[in-house]
Chains A and B, each alone.
Chain A
Amino acid sequence: MSTFHGLEMAKRALFTQQSAIHTTGHNISNANTKGYSRQRVNFETTTPYPVPGRNQPQIPGQIGTGVQAGSVERIRTQYLDEQYRSENSKSSYWHTTSDALERMESLMNEPSKNGLAHTMNQFWDALQVLANNPENEGARSVVARRGEAVADTFNYISNTLRSIRSDIDYQIDVTVQNANSLIDRIHKINEQIQEIEPHGYLANDLYDERDRLIDELSSIVNIEVSYRKSASSSKDIADGIVTIELVDDHGSPFEPTVKLVDGTAGAMTVEHLTYSKGEPSTVSVGDIQLPYSENNGSLNALVHAYGFEENGELKGLYPGMLAEMDKLANVFITEFNAIHRNGFDITGNPGQAFFTGTNAGDIAVRDAILTNPDLIAAASEANLVGDGSNASNLSDLLDQPINSALGQSTSINGFYRALIGQMGVKAEKANAMSANTDISKTQIENQRLSVSSVSLDEEIANLIKFQHAYNAAARNMTVVDELIDRIINGMGIVGR
């Protein structure tokens, strides 16, 4: 037992308490840093004296030698991260889908006085007025103009659907770039950690940053994260190197596996997502072509909204709506023109096409009819100016169940109503799912915060605790100092 033992022990205590005070300061500083997990210094006692051995001094027992900072660890629970990421994937899928459908809904604008349904009703009214007043020039012009309004509404819906769809295409491109940048950054951090951990350190702040990036990546695609020990010299509580794999809806990896970030020893590579522009644009990674999931990741949601090819057919929310609108417009044009051709215009000539075009994008009232509404075939018999029965037939078409590409006994207006209903149901589901997944995500987020987030009260309490210990250690050192002072200056002067 050396005399200086007490000094050394007090010094260790001072240093260790000080490191705890610094760590507390770090926690307080980062109380509002996104993704930060609180850190703590793991205190451990130093090896007591004496250690057993042949030459051990014969003293009554082992005497403690003080404290040391064993490690600085972040407080975090990995399985909560896993749960969070899985919910995050779902939540962002439904959130993105619900956004896409909301844009579609506000475009269709039903039920309202501006949607296609209202324009159709007005067209029907105009045809009825024409049926009653076929010789009236005004009634004819109104039919031509209202017909134009119907065509314009179809065009507007079709064009806007297309432009929203190309917006989504752009969004896909940006999201892929974002994902690739996340992958690169995670890979960089992996490399940094690989250099730090073998020295016995814990790269706490890098772990936090890496976890935050992985969280972000999990909102884009659903992933599974696994860890590998960086080296045999690394601490057991070190997080290690991550490998990020793409997984399917059930959380199982694909065959062959797609490793976005490969952290296996000796590999340390990345796999980027590829976006290729085209009609339609596609996203793929490894052998996987997106979308591969119906409820995971914003990228899958975007591709679902934008459309993708399956068995040579274009599917997806927007292509689906466009196709239905085109089908509706096509049947409307064909059937309306067929009836129109059965009639006769005001000069007794048989009617020609009323609408031109074949789909929602190019439907238009024939120019000749717009410039000369007398060409509208309101009569069923030639040269009967007062005959409006064909106009009446034309008006009947809108609500008459017919067998066509729209289905058996389906009317034009009925088909459109059903279309809006289906869209409403889809959007309702997406909204509900978005709200539900948000709730479970929030709940897990809360659990995670409960474990990892900084509590200022706690830090302040700790600060006071460490400060007291520091002060006491300093006092301890003063006591030892006085002891030594006594030996050096007070001893050997007996009788002086």
Chain B
Amino acid sequence: MRVTQNMLSNQMLRNLSSNYGKLDQYLEQLHTGKKVRRPSDNPVVAMKGMGYRAEVSKIEQFKNNASEADNWFENTDEALDKMTKALHRIYDLAVQGSTGSYNEEDRINMMSEVKQLKEHVIDIANTSVGGKYIFNGRQTDQPPVNKDGSFNNLYNNDSVMIEVAPGTKLAVNAIPNRVFNADNNDLFSTIDRFITALENSDQAQINESIGDIQTHTDQVVNARADIGARMNRLELIIDRLDHQEVVAKKMMSDNEDVDYEEVITDLITQESILRASLAAGSRTIQPTLLDFLR
């Protein structure tokens, strides 16, 4: 084949340009750390990449949701703990008041303590965290109990659900009825009856209150146990989310991140190829026959 200077220089330019093109590709991979710049570089990797991104972002949000749920549990648990303590004190007072060794004056004193405890219990029932009343179901903007111990008109018994994993919704509140109501008696009227009994020094009524208060205390303890069980489940879910996050990020990285050792090696190889082609080109396009004619 006849080869002319023009062909040589065209060929050299084409090769140089394709060498620079490859160099640019490796440099871009190093700069961005990604294998693909646009979907056409590798449609499969790009599509998978979009999927993994969505998954990672979801898992991150589910983790946020889980810590939100954890917040509910912690606060509910704390409130129920305080409520149990208050009920224990009321129970102690009831047991004391039922014995004959106390006189009416003592019982009036007990009564004022029980009144204070009742307000304390009402305060606990109206616990609000970040502007949400945690013992009023989904009606979180209203306190469940009025100042006098009667229930709010907007008293609500729904479960508050938080999605902690795809399709897994966890109830994060204690159902108010399961805390405040037992055997058709509500906690506050039980305490009220106990107060009246103390006021009247009615020992029989006080004895009856002992049982009622015990029932309510059990109720609160059960509710707390229920929250504890759900906290355990949440911990398992958080563990799983953590694990999933690691796996999803690893898959995303495997899918689209460059292998630096490989790219750097490629880059260096490409660099030496470019140097070689520049050197070869400069030798072939310079001389003509004229250089050798005298």
**Residues of A participating in the B interface, judged by any CB pair closer than 8 Å:** 31-32, 101-102, 105-106, 108, 110-111, 117-118, 120-122, 124-125, 128-129, 131-133, 135-136, 379, 381, 383-387, 389, 392, 399, 413, 417-418, 420-421, 423-428, 430-431, 442, 446-447, 449-451, 453-458, 460-461, 464
Contact = CB atoms under 8 A, between A and B. Distances in A.
Interface in B248-294: 256, 288-290, 293
A317 to B, nearest CB: 13
19 contacts: A32-B6, A105-B40, A108-B39, A117-B50, A118-B53, A121-B53, A121-B57, A128-B163, A386-B136, A386-B137, A387-B158, A399-B54, A418-B47, A420-B50, A421-B43, A423-B40, A427-B39, A449-B7, A457-B5
Given A125-B57, A128-B163, A424 B141 contact: no
Contacts of B53: 111, 117-118, 121
Contacts of B160: 386
B204 interface: no
Contacts of A464: 293
Given A124-B61, A424-B47, A455 B131 contact: no
B137 A102 contact: no
A385 B7 contact: no
Contacts, number: 158
- Of the listed residues A132, A417, A421, the one surrounded by the most CB atoms of chain B closer than 10 A to its CB is A132
- Of the listed residues B40, B137, B162, B256, the one surrounded by the most CB atoms of chain A closer than 10 A to its CB is B40
Contact of A384 (B156, B169, B293): B156
B177 to A, nearest CB: 16
Given A386-B141, A399-B54, 14 more contacts: A110-B50, A121-B57, A131-B162, A132-B162, A385-B142, A392-B163, A424-B43, A431-B40, A450-B1, A453-B6, A454-B4, A456-B289, A460-B290, A461-B289
B161 interface: yes
A125 B62 CA distance: 9
Nearest to A115: B50
Contact of B6 (A31, A117, A132, A387): A31
Interface of B: 1-7, 10-11, 14, 36, 38-44, 46-47, 49-51, 53-54, 57-58, 60-62, 64-65, 68, 131-132, 136-142, 154, 156, 158, 160-163, 169, 256, 288-290, 293
Return the 9 tightest CB-CB contacts between A and B, nearest first. Answer: A424-B39, A386-B140, A424-B43, A427-B40, A455-B4, A421-B47, A457-B289, A385-B141, A111-B49
A452 to B, nearest CB: 9
Given A421-B47, A456-B288, A450 B4 contact: yes
Contacts of A461: 289
A454 B160 CA distance: 86
Contact of B2 (A32, A101, A425, A451): A451
A420 B156 contact: no
Contacts of A446: 7, 11
Given A111-B49, A117-B54, A386-B140, A101 B132 contact: no
B218 to A, nearest CB: 28
B131 A428 contact: no
A464 B10 CA distance: 27
Contacts of A425: 40, 43
Nearest to A118: B53
- Of the listed residues A111, A387, A426, the one surrounded by the most CB atoms of chain B closer than 10 A to its CB is A111
A102 B37 CA distance: 11
Contacts of B64: 128-129
B46 A385 contact: no
A442 to B, nearest CB: 7
Contacts of A118: 53
A384 B54 contact: no
A420 B161 CA distance: 35
A457 B39 contact: no
B74 to A, nearest CB: 15
A32 B162 CA distance: 75
B256 A111 contact: yes
Contact of A449 (B10, B42, B62, B65): B10
B39 A124 contact: no
Contacts of B40: 101-102, 105, 423-428, 430-431
A124 to B, nearest CB: 7
Contact of B46 (A111, A120, A379, A450): A111
B130 to A, nearest CB: 8
B235 to A, nearest CB: 18
Contacts of B142: 385
B125 to A, nearest CB: 16
A181 B68 CA distance: 71
Nearest to B131: A135
A61 to B, nearest CB: 39
A420 B46 contact: yes
A386 B139 contact: yes
A353 to B, nearest CB: 25
B139 A417 contact: no
Contact of B158 (A133, A384, A442, A450): A384
Nearest to A458: B4
A381 to B, nearest CB: 7
